[in-house]
Chains A and B, each alone.
Chain A
Amino acid sequence: QQQVKQSPQSLIVQKGGISIINCAYENTAFDYFPWYQQFPGKGPALLIAIRPDVSEKKEGRFTISFNKSAKQFSLHIMDSQPGDSATYFCAASSGNTGKLIFGQGTTLQVKP
């Protein structure tokens, strides 16, 4: 019930291509869905986030698509660059504590 399932585990994309990472959840009480980017040896950094009353949110090259009925959301990275190579985590939270449930992570490699 509290899980967030993320796929794929790893992804290799050519420079300029589109990177797509998918997440699915079960708990319909989740009301906040952020994506975090983590570089080796660093802490996760908030990339973009969405609430379930919105189906899509775009910030620069990063877009979240949200399907409330399917309980799925995805991150699209347009025009992927080598500097985007990192581990990406989706997450979800509900209630008043701000506690985040993270997906297992996707390691993205963008080849020049």
Chain B
Amino acid sequence: NAGVMQNPRHLVRRRGQEARLRCSPMKGHSHVYWYRQLPEEGLKFMVYLQKENIIDESGMPKERFSAEFPKEGPSILRIQQVVRGDSAAYFCASSPRLTGINLGGYTFGSGTRLTVV
């Protein structure tokens, strides 16, 4: 089991470009979460998706950010017209299902470090 795979590991974009971050969950996992980590800060929840559905996007900025988790393929976090303030590490996590025991105990990927220049 390769774990949660995120790519690219590092991404550099100029202001105004689009950034597309990919997350392949662990095999058999149908729940995906995206978190953002700014320098010297904790992780902030962005969005929770199940296959083909956005369950909770309460942490997503209202503009420029979108996420999807299609029936086939990885989950994608898309940032349009990036600005310097978008520079951060973006982490994806996956879990097989929600149960009382497993709630919150999911597996994180190694992250994508986005730098906007």
Q: Are B104 and A102 in contact (CB under 8 A)?
A: no
Given that A43-B91, A98-B33 are contacting pairs, would A105 and B42 also be in contact in the complex, using a CB cutoff of 8 Å?
yes
Q: How large is the interface on B (under 10, 10 to 19, 20 to 34, 35 or more residues)?
A: 20 to 34
Is there a chain A Cβ closer than 8 Å to B4's Cβ? yes
Residues of A within 8 A of B110 (CB): 41-43
Q: Are A98 and B103 in contact (CB under 8 A)?
A: yes
Is there a chain A Cβ closer than 8 Å to B117's Cβ? no
Choice from A34, A43, A97, A101 contacting B55 with Cβ under 8 Å: A97
Q: Are A98 and B43 in contact (CB under 8 A)?
A: no
- Rounded to whole Å, the gap between the CB of A91 and the closest CB of chain B is 7
Q: Which B residues fall within an 8 A CB radius of A?
A: 4, 31, 33, 35, 41-45, 48, 55-56, 58-59, 91, 93, 95, 98, 103-111
**Which B residue sits closest to A97, measured CB to CB?**
B56
**Which B residue sits closest to A94, measured CB to CB?**
B103
Given that A43-B110, A93-B103 are contacting pairs, would A99 and B45 also be in contact in the complex, using a CB cutoff of 8 Å?
yes
Is there a chain B Cβ closer than 8 Å to A96's Cβ? yes
Q: Are B109 and A100 in contact (CB under 8 A)?
A: no
Given that A43-B110, A93-B104 are contacting pairs, would A100 and B41 also be in contact in the complex, using a CB cutoff of 8 Å?
no
Is there a chain B Cβ closer than 8 Å to A104's Cβ? yes
